[in-house]
Structure 1
């Protein structure tokens, strides 16, 4: 029959017949593969259940770690760091387990992730070094939030310990971000870890000064300051016979938070007391002798 002789009714009938054939084929395939469909359906349901239950368990374990570490009075930043790391590790295992339930070869998947991780690691060596240093800082706890430290050439109060860097606030209110590897790779001086600190002052006086009188004046100034601790006692002694002066060391002990106020007060009070006692504080000088 030529195309010109095909009527719309015949065309519609042919389309309906083709649709019926497709439906029948689909029904036949479903009837012939019911076991396979049920198996895949159960696997998908199991994978979804694994994901849901795993996420819930990961959250519970993370909260448990958070609660335990908080009770141990660890730094809040470290508590958050550890609890989140635990959660992400558990979630990674849950995802791999869920993929295994739906037939994904997890061994190959892990191998691919390992290769990708190696490539990323080579490209991000510095970042991974900072991450590893951050983990060690969390474990070793050389400092915590709020403590005043000196590290990587920067002095300031610790604001937070992050995954790749530690943030400090300097005494003049500068916000400084220091890479964790730079901190862990050098000396760390923690000024806040101990409750007390010693102030070390060097006071130079003239060679003509009475040493006993000078020592008595220095001791009286230090003992008059109410913030200076009685125990351990203050040390006042001759430390050096320098080129232009006799140098005394003055070493009182104070609470950590009083260090700078007491240091400034003592410097001013010592200068005034020595002036009142007629004891000269020399400056660098040179004697010139003229031979006639």
Structure 2
């Protein structure tokens, strides 16, 4: 009887060892084959995004995200196949995910806004913008921050969460920009002559667009001067130089024409 029980227990133990071994082997096969397939699927999705002309930074991020999620699912599946209980494993993963999410709350916000900025493109590299209360030229955009070069050549690294949470002004998006110059002349001067002189200067500068047409208007009658409003349109790249050159030309031209420029 004792020998019979020993043989029975030995047979059950052998079957258990074989069962565990098969489960481990199956889990290993699932993991190895699954990782190979996950890499192929992630690479295929990245190529598809490239063909759809999705930004390189975003396509690379999505490729790594897909691969990471698939590998995580494979690891959980392999552990369950190997005999690990699913409930504690899922609970542990949920707790770890919550802890990581709370610890990286600011970084995740920057990441989310980085994806939105790359997808919707409120500005591009080379645009002159005001973003996150910083004004300058965009040099690069990645998933975590935007690099803006200020007019004095300082660099500002602005977190994407701050960029997305504030108003974005893009000075280049439309291709053209309007400038405005306030000019004050004396009450004794001829307003018509001053306006005609300024309009002549419009025609002499090819950077000032004809459509929309530039113009001069009487803005206000002040205590000691008449205010003229000078407006014109240029290409975005010409705006600053055309505006400053026109201001100097107006001063010199009006003085030669005998028109008095008022000052306090």
Superposition TM-score tier, normalisation by shorter sequence = 0.7 to 0.9
Corresponding position of 2:220: 240
The correspondence of residues 117-136 of structure 1 with structure 2, limited to 5 A, is 117-136=97-116
In the alignment, which of 41, 46, 58 is matched to residue 62 of structure 1? Answer: 46
Corresponding position of 2:8: none
The correspondence of residues 217-236 of structure 1 with structure 2, limited to 5 A, is 217-236=197-216
> CA offsets per residue over residues 131-169 of structure 1, 9 Å max, x none?
222233233321122211112221111122222211111
Corresponding position of 2:74: 98
Deviation at 1:242, TM superposition (A): 2.5
Change (3 A) 1:67 1:106: farther
Deviation at 1:170, TM superposition (A): 1.8
* Stretches of 4+ aligned residues off by more than 6 angstroms: 29-32
Partner-residue secondary structure (3-state), 2:41 = helix
Corresponding position of 1:157: 137
Change (3 A) 1:160 1:114: farther
Instruction: Decide whether the 8 Å contact of 2:58 with 2:143 is kept in 1.
Output: no
Report the more deviating stretch, 221-230 or 80-89. Answer: 80-89
In 1: Cα distance, 2:197 partner to 2:191 partner? 10
> CA offsets per residue over residues 23-81 of structure 1, 9 Å max, x none?
xxxxxx879844542442233122111112211221221122123125xxxxxxxx123
Change (3 A) 1:155 1:241: same
Partner-residue secondary structure (3-state), 2:206 = coil
In the alignment, which of 78, 81, 92 is matched to residue 57 of structure 2? Answer: 81
In the alignment, which of 160, 177, 187 is matched to residue 197 of structure 1? Answer: 177
Which of the pair has more CA radius of gyration? 1
Instruction: Decide whether the 8 Å contact of 1:44 with 1:102 is kept in 2.
Output: no
Corresponding position of 1:5: none
Structure 1: stretches of 5+ with no match in the other structure: 1-28, 71-78, 285-292
The correspondence of residues 245-284 of structure 1 with structure 2, limited to 5 A, is 245-284=225-264
Deviation at 1:107, TM superposition (A): 5.6
Change (3 A) 1:102 1:118: closer
Instruction: Decide whether the 8 Å contact of 1:152 with 1:182 is kept in 2.
Output: yes
Aligned length: 248
Report the more deviating stretch, 32-41 or 267-276. Answer: 32-41
Change (3 A) 1:242 1:109: farther
Give me the TM-score of the superposition, normalised by structure 2: 0.85
Change (3 A) 1:105 1:223: farther
In 2: Cα distance, 1:211 partner to 1:81 partner? 57
Alpha-carbon RMSD across the aligned residues, in angstroms, is 2.2
Corresponding position of 1:113: 93
Corresponding position of 1:143: 123
Residue 41 in structure 1 maps to residue 25 in structure 2: yes
